[in-house]
């Protein structure tokens, strides 16, 4: 047989790559805005027509490109932002992959005009489906202008896949806001079909937030600041009384990049503690500054997720910072030293009576105590939780409405109506997931992670209280361990007993187990103990967890129901029941999701209702 492998032509390779980088007009908007910021611009405008399907234009006054760079910018892996792999650990720009322009040019008709300060004339390039149609000099001002016309003109399947104009515009606005919000030092404007949507002057972070969400938000903001060696936190949270029933305005930025992080979100939510009920969500706008070598932004093509080296410490710092900010706010509710005079929100209306400040101080509170790192484990009422399936408040529908991207995880706080009872749908998929239905959509639960979360909370409590529940074995088992494992078992003897094991040493490296934690049911004791030790060692070397936390995590991992196990209806029901009785049902201690939601409206939309 003759050779059949061929290298793909660049245009085809770019088109394939484009699928990952440019999913919809909003993705192109994000890339172009970020490029404009990386170019040091201080004025950026965005013009869209027909929800970006006909035109996306971004104009900036940044440093522009030379003729050669202008041409090169459309090549794949062409970037001015990193030079070597080492630079990946010190990224100070938005872009670095050098694939956005190549991708966009593969699937659209692109016109670029750009000029550097020192030249009299600029360069104009027209490129369509990766093919350069025209390149000439042009008369333009310093900076760059990209016009993207007819996105996906040569990929009809993609174009047909786009949602209605209002939905696509919503996505574009969302991207615009995320980028503009954290760059208050740059003036941004946006026009949709000739109408001005935003016109944001340069100013402070507070001014930018009010520019985007309206002046009314100003009085709701409580400033947050914290400066540590690990991270600097700066920004605002909403006052508790303005908390929302939907998870709307929640923004984390890390080194000026918008990110999503369920774990850090929990830190903020947790800082509000008693101030909010379970169904209320604070708004927040928090900028974190971290040494770029301590984060990894290189894990997702659209880059809203990043990895932190020090996630737990950051959790604690954010929680503390927000708590302190709220504490200060309680002391002086009407005095806001950060108030900027350009807002016409009076500090005190003359008719307001001046309240005696009330001071709430938690004497036990010690910001340096690391106990706050791990979310505390509290059991909450499990009564009637299943009626959560019967009703989600209208608000919850809005909560998940934001969830458009497949696989995107959204944490929701279920609301239930005790009057209504509806039979619960539970369906196991691929021996791995449990599908269940809500009024406003569906939940998919990962069976193994769900069980791990449940066990983690149980075992943490047992360790904390120093006693787990033991089920005696009918026939005690003698187990031989490797010398190293036997050593470790000796060392962890007390804790292992506290987990609920009835275990005694019998000779050099043998142990006799007469009872096991009740959580284990009838599982293979030897396998569980070996799995526990294995996981414990791994966590110790990689995560440097505290002993208790490590043990609870390792034990939960080792003893959990695994993917691949078929579950009966009753087993699924018990699992889901217990999951929602957990303090933090939505994720594992490492932040990985246990549940994802599918919004009914999205489904309807996909079926074109
Ligand atoms: P990346 O941003 O990852 O480097 P892009 O494909 O987005 O990759 O852009 C490629 C290169 O084109 C950038 O590295 C930059 O040198 C140049 N470039 C893109 N947009 C602009 C702009 N608005 N102003 C100046 N240079 C730009
Ligand atoms: Mg870029």
**Is residue 259 scored above 80 in pLDDT?**
yes
Mutate which of 31, 77, 80, 114 for ligand 1? The one with the most ligand atoms within 8 Å of its CB, which is 80
Q: What is the pLDDT of residues 150-204, one digit of tens each?
A: 999 998 888 888 988 988 999 999 999 999 999 999 999 999 999 999 999 999 9
Whether pLDDT at 498 is above 60 = yes
Q: Which residues of 501-532 are buried (b: 16+ CB within 10 A; e: fewer)?
A: bbbeeeeebebebebbbebbeeeebeebbbbb
Helix/strand/coil for 34: helix
Q: Is the distance from the beta carbon of residue 81 to the nearest atom of ligand 1 less than 6 Å?
A: yes
Alpha-helical (H) ranges within 284-354 are 311-331
For residue 104, the ligand closest to its alpha carbon is 1
The predicted-structure confidence for 209-227, as pLDDT tens digits, reads as follows: 999 998 889 989 999 999 9
Domain contains 25: yes
Burial of 447 (0-12, 13-18, 19+ CB in 10 A): buried
Residue 446 pLDDT: 95
**193 lies in the same domain as 72:** yes
- C-alpha closest to that of 420 among 395, 393, 389, 396: 389
Percent of the chain predicted with pLDDT > 90: 45
CB-CB neighbours of 419 under 10 Å: 8
- Residue 145 within a domain: yes
Within this chain, do residues 250 and 310 fall inside the same structural domain, yes or no?
yes
pLDDT at 388: 34
Query: What is the Cα–Cα distance from 186 to 34, expressed in whole angstroms?
Result: 12
> Separation of 443 CA from ligand 2 center, angstroms?
35
Q: What is the dihedral of CA 306, 302, 180, 232, to 10 degrees?
A: 10
**Pocket of ligand 1 contains residue 39 by CB under 6 Å:** yes
Judgement on whether residues 222 and 236 belong to the same structural domain of the protein: yes
Residue 292 burial class via C-beta count within 10 angstroms: exposed 0-12, middle 13-18, buried 19 and up: middle
What is the Å distance from ligand 2's center to 206 Cα?
A: 27
Are 190 and 218 contained in the same domain? no
What do you get for the CA distance between the two ends of the chain, in Å?
51
Which of 203, 224, 248 terminates a domain? The answer is 203
Single out the residue in 299, 328, 357 at which a domain terminates: 328
Residue found by looking up tokens 């009753």 in the block: 570
Say if 72 falls within a structural domain. Answer: yes
182 and 224 housed in the same domain = no
Domain membership of residue 41 as a residue range: 10-203
- Spell out the alpha helix ranges (H) of 66-204: 67-72, 100-106, 156-161, 165-181
User: If we measure between CA atoms, which residue out of 203, 420, 230 comes closest to residue 320?
Assistant: 230
- Predicted confidence band at 601 (pLDDT cuts at 50, 70, 90)? confident
Nearest residue CA, atom 23 of ligand 1?
36
Number of domains, the chain: 3
User: Do 545 and 453 share a domain, yes or no?
Assistant: yes
* Largest CA-CA distance found in the chain, in angstroms, rounded: 91
Locate the ligand 1 atom nearest the alpha carbon of residue 73 and give its number.
Answer: 12
Supply the residue whose CA is at minimum distance from atom 17 of ligand 1.
73
Between 400 and 429, where is the model more confident? 429
Q: Does residue 100 have a pLDDT over 70?
A: yes
Mean pLDDT on 305-325: 89
């Amino acid at each position: 047989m003759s050779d059949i492998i061929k290298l793909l032509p660049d245009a085809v390779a770019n088109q394939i790559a484009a699928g990952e980088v440019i999913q919809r007009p909003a993705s192109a908007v994000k890339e172009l805005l970020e490029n404009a910021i990386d170019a040091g611009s201080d004025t950026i405008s965005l013009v869209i027509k027909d929800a970006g399907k006909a035109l996306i234009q971004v104009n900036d006054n940044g440093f522009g490109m030379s003729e050669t760079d202008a041409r090169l910018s459309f090549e794949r892996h062409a970037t001015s932002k990193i030079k070597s792999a080492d630079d990946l650990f010190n990224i100070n720009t938005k872009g670095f992959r050098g694939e956005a322009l190549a991708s966009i040019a593969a699937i659209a008709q692109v016109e670029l005009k750009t000029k550097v300060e020192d030249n009299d004339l600029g360069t104009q390039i027209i490129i369509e489906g990766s093919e350069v149609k025209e390149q000439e000099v042009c008369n333009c001002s310093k900076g760059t202008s990209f016009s993207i016309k007819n996105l996906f003109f040569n990929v009809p399947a993609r174009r047909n896949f786009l949602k209605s104009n209002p939905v696509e515009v919503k996505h574009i606005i969302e991207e615009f806001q995320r980028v503009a919000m954290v760059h208050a030092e740059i003036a941004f404007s946006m026009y949709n079909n000739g109408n001005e949507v935003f016109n944001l002057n340069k100013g402070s972070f507070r001014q930018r937030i009010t520019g985007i969400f309206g002046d009314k938000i100003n009085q709701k903001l409580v400033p947050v600041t914290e400066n540590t060696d690990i991270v600097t936190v700066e920004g605002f949270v909403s006052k508790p009384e303005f908390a929302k029933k939907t998870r709307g305005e929640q923004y984390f930025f890390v080194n000026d990049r918008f990110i999503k992080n369920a774990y850090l979100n929990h830190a903020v939510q947790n800082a509000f503690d008693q101030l909010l009920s379970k169904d209320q969500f604070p708004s927040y706008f928090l900028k974190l500054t971290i040494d770029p070598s301590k984060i990894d932004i290189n894990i997702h093509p659209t880059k809203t997720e990043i990895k932190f080296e020090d996630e737990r410490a950051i959790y604690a710092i954010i929680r503390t910072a927000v708590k302190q900010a709220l504490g200060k706010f309680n002391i002086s509710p009407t005095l806001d030293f950060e108030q900027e005079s350009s807002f016409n929100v009076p500090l005190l209306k003359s008719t307001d009576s001046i309240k005696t400040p009330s001071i709430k101080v938690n004497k036990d509170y010690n910001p340096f105590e690391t106990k706050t790192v791990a979310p505390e484990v509290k059991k909450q009422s499990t009564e009637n939780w299943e009626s959560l399936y019967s009703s989600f408040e209208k608000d919850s529908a809005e909560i998940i409405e934001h969830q458009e991207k497949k696989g995107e995880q959204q944490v929701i706080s279920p609301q239930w109506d005790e009057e209504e009872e509806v039979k619960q749908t539970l369906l196991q998929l691929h021996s791995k997931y449990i599908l269940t239905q809500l009024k406003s959509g569906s939940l998919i639960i990962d069976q193994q992670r769900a069980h791990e979360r449940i066990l983690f909370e149980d075992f943490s409590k047992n360790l904390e209280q120093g006693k787990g529940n033991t089920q005696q074995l009918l026939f005690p088992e003698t187990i031989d361990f490797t010398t190293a494992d036997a050593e470790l078992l000796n060392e962890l003897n007390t804790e292992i007993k506290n987990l609920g094991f009835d275990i005694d040493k019998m000779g050099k490296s043998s142990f006799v187990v007469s009872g096991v934690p009740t959580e284990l049911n009838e599982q293979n004791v030897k396998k569980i103990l070996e799995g526990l030790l294995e996981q414990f060692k791994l966590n110790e070397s990689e995560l440097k967890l505290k002993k208790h936390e490590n043990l609870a995590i390792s034990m939960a991992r080792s003893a959990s129901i695994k993917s691949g196990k078929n579950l009966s209806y009753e087993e699924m029901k018990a699992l889901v029941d217990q999951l929602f009785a957990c303090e933090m049902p939505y994720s594992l201690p490492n932040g990985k999701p246990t549940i994802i939601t599918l919004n009914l409206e999205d489904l309807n939309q996909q079926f074109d209702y």
